[in-house]
């Protein structure tokens, strides 16, 4: 039942990311139809991301109050309708509103997966399932290029949008039929004992106590590091197909398959990040440190390989460097998500995830627009990639210097200081 729950969360995230990828795949075709620039396409992604980011904070609070079953299921229905509406847009403005609606309705997917994992797994066992559901954020973009390119070439970009909306409604039906919260499931005695610590730590999240999260240095560190990682993710998610077409002169038919290669490595990186963090924890490393170290190393390595990509003189070299960059980026992001449940008390993990993800998608708002503007100004992706590399490395520095201590549940309840040493972990 644990792995069915994680599998459903992973599938929801993968579908979420395929829907997001429709804009990247249809990039040049949509630009030609509406007569818009690269900056205008970047603005579509940025408005989606800004809406997604702003919804993260209330969604995290609601998930901690209500649980993921109904909130994620209803979100699946709503985002599928928004996705299909994009295919029916008659103007650039209508397409923008459809993407804004998509951003609002897709927002429960990742925080919901955090809640699923924290509900079904003990805190020391959450690295591997976190890596699995994070892989959904790479599986979706990996399968999206060949799938969506084929749909677009055969039927047009509008049909591509509508078909994905219909697929999401099927996904919502499966979610409601299969997913159950552990509190409502019939479990064996040994499984009840395994989850007893989680349930003992659960308590309704009060809005006043939730607001105290912003008093913590680690909360701000997680949010700022997420901004840096989100900038890098959405630089690649939004612009990789266009980079291959414009910079490396690969045809649109081949781009769908070539763009899948770095994304396959991204899947492997997510799985590796979760596995490594669990190995560190089981090897005796302090829990917060065991989750933080893979995140730091992953972001550092990703930034370095992005710098190498700016020097690529041919498509093969570019794909190799970008594949390495995305592998380590996903490894670092998986470590960053496992860090949430090490730093945050059980009852607040989804709230912390939502706030962190807010930072990530503010980065995702800035990244597509800045990248599009730089490409329009320079006619090249070299400077845009260099900016992304620097911001990714900055994220590693923030994790190392700012996220040092767990958040105390006593302090959230008003009974202790907001900044506690690691030795006093709750």
Tell me which residues of the chain have a pLDDT lower than 50.
Answer: 419-426
- In the structure encoding, which two tokens stand for residue 59, read together? 């969604």
Q: Is residue 64 part of a domain?
A: yes
Q: Is residue 286 part of a domain?
A: yes
Q: Is residue 422 part of a domain?
A: no
Q: Is residue 424 part of a domain?
A: no
Q: Is residue 426 part of a domain?
A: no
Q: Is residue 190 part of a domain?
A: yes
pLDDT computed for residue 98 by the predictor: 93
Q: Is residue 380 part of a domain?
A: yes
pLDDT computed for residue 421 by the predictor: 41
Domain holding 354: CATH number? Answer: 1.20.1250.20
- In the structure encoding, which two tokens stand for residue 415, read together? 């009974």
pLDDT computed for residue 60 by the predictor: 80
pLDDT computed for residue 204 by the predictor: 60
Range of the domain at 19: 2-416
Q: Rounded to an integer, what distance in angstroms lies between the CA atom of residue 391 and that of residue 360?
A: 12
Positive/negative CA dihedral, 41, 304, 356, 199: positive
Q: Rounded to an integer, what distance in angstroms lies between the CA atom of residue 369 and that of residue 246?
A: 17
Q: Which residues contact 287 (CB under 8 A, 6 or more apart)?
A: 123, 124, 281, 342, 425
How many separate domains does the chain show?
1
Q: Is residue 212 part of a domain?
A: yes
**If you search the block for the tokens 């699995």, which residue do you land on?**
132
pLDDT computed for residue 322 by the predictor: 92
Is 300 in contact with 393 (CB distance < 8 Å)?
Answer: yes
Q: What radius of gyration do the chain's Cα atoms show? A: 21
């Amino acid at each position: 039942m644990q792995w069915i729950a994680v599998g459903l969360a992973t599938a929801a995230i993968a579908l979420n990311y395929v829907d997001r990828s429709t804009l990247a795949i249809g990039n040049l075709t949509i630009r030609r139809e509406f007569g818009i620039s690269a900056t205008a396409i970047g603005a579509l992604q940025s408005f989606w991301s800004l809406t997604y980011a702003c919804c993260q904070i209330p969604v995290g609070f609601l998930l901690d109050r209500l649980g993921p079953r109904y909130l994620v299921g209803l979100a699946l229905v709503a985002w599928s309708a928004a996705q299909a509406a994009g295919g029916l847009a008659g103007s650039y403005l209508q397409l923008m509103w459809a993407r804004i609606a998509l951003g609002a309705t897709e927002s429960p997917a990742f925080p919901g997966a955090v809640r699923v994992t924290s509900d079904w797994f003990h805190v020391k066992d959450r690295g591997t399932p976190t890596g699995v559901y994070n892989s959904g954020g790479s599986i979706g973009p990996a399968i999206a290029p060949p799938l969506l390119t084929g749909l677009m070439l055969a039927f047009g970009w509008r049909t591509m949008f509508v078909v994905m909306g219909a697929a999401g409604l099927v996904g919502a039906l499966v979610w409601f039929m299969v997913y159950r919260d552990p509190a409502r499931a019939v479990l064996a005695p040994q499984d009840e004992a395994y989850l007893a610590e989680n349930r003992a730590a659960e308590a309704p999240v009060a809005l006043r106590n939730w607001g105290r999260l912003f008093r913590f240095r680690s909360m701000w560190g997680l949010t700022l590091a997420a901004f840096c990682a989100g900038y890098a993710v959405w630089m690649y998610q939004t612009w990789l197909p266009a980079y291959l077409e414009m910079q490396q002169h690969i045809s649109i038919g081949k781009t769908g398959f070539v763009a899948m290669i770095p994304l396959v490595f991204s899947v492997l990186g997510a799985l590796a990040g979760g596995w490594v963090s669990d190995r560190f924890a089981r090897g005796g490393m302090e829990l917060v440190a065991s989750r933080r170290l893979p995140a730091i190393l992953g972001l550092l390595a990703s930034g370095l390989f992005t710098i190498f990509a700016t020097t690529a003189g041919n498509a093969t070299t570019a794909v190799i460097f970008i594949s390495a960059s995305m592998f380590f980026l996903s490894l670092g992001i998986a470590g960053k998500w496992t860090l949430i449940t090490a730093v945050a008390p059980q009852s607040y993990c989804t709230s912390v995830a939502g706030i962190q993800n807010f930072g990530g998608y503010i980065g995702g708002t800035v990244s597509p627009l800045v990248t599009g503007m730089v490409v329009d100004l320079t006619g090249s992706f070299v400077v845009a990639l260099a900016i992304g590399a620097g911001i990714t490395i900055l994220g590693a520095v923030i994790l190392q210097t700012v996220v040092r201590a767990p958040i105390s549940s006593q302090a959230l309840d008003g009974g202790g200081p907001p900044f506690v040493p690691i030795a006093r972990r709750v």
